[in-house]
Structure 1
Amino acid sequence: MSAAPIEIRWLSAVFDFPADDFGDEVTFWRAIAGSTVSPPRGDRRQFASLEPFTGDPHLRVQRVETGVGGVHLDIHVDDVDDAATVAESLGARRTGQTPDGVEMQSPAGFTFSMVPWNGEHERSRPIRWPGDTISIIDQICVDVPSRRFDEECTFFTRLTGWELESASRPEFRALHHPESMPIRILLQRMTSGSVGAHVDLASTHPADEVSRHEDWGAEVVSQHGTWTVMADPTGRPYCITARNPRTGRLPDAG
Structure 2
Amino acid sequence: MHVRWLTAFFDFPASEFGAEVTFWRAISGSTVSPPRGEFKEFATLEPFHGDPYLRVQRVDDGPGGMHLDLHVDDPSQAMLEAESRGATVESVADGVVTMRSPAGGVFCLIPWRNESVRARPIRWPGGGISIIDQLRFQVPSADFGTEVQFWAGLTGKDAGPTEGVDAVALNNSPRLSLQVVIMRTDESVASAHTAIAATNVPDEVERHEGWGATVVARSADCVQMADPCGRLYCITARNPRTGV
The answer to whether the aligner puts 1:31 opposite 2:26 as a matched pair is yes
Q: Aligned pair count? A: 243
Give the Cα–Cα distance (whole angstroms) in 2 for the partners of residues 98 and 210 of structure 1.
Answer: 40
TM-superposed CA distance for 1:192, in Å, is 2.8
Residue 164 of structure 1: SS of its match in structure 2? coil
TM-superposed CA distance for 1:210, in Å, is 0.2
Aligned residue type for 1:156: W
Give the Cα–Cα distance (whole angstroms) in 2 for the partners of residues 223 and 164 of structure 1.
Answer: 28
Give the Cα–Cα distance (whole angstroms) in 2 for the partners of residues 94 and 26 of structure 1.
Answer: 29
Give the Cα–Cα distance (whole angstroms) in 2 for the partners of residues 61 and 99 of structure 1.
Answer: 18
The answer to whether the aligner puts 1:11 opposite 2:6 as a matched pair is yes
Q: Deviations over 1:177-203 (max 9, x none)?
A: 322111000110112331101000000
Q: Which of 218, 227, 236 does residue 232 from structure 1 map onto?
A: 227
CA contact (8 A) 1:206 1:240 kept: yes
Aligned residue type for 1:25: E
In structure 1, stretches of 5+ residues that fail to align are 1-5, 250-254
In structure 2, stretches of 5+ residues that fail to align are none
Aligned to 2:136: 141
Give the Cα–Cα distance (whole angstroms) in 1 for the partners of residues 155 and 30 of structure 2.
Answer: 29
Aligned to 2:84: 89
Q: Deviations over 1:140-173 (max 9, x none)?
A: 0000110000010111112222122799x94111
Aligned to 2:121: 126
Q: Which of 138, 146, 151 does residue 146 from structure 2 map onto?
A: 151
Give the Cα–Cα distance (whole angstroms) in 1 for the partners of residues 83 and 119 of structure 2.
Answer: 32
Q: Percent identity?
A: 52
Alignment of 1:1-254 (within 5 A): 6-99=1-94, 101-164=96-159, 170-249=165-244
Structure 1 residue ranges, 4+ long, deviating more than 3 angstroms after superposition: none
Q: Deviations over 1:63-105 (max 9, x none)?
A: 1110100011000011111111110111101112344611110
Give the Cα–Cα distance (whole angstroms) in 2 for the partners of residues 47 and 99 of structure 1.
Answer: 15
CA contact (8 A) 2:156 2:171 kept: no
Give the TM-score, by structure 1 length.
Answer: 0.92
CA contact (8 A) 1:229 1:239 kept: yes
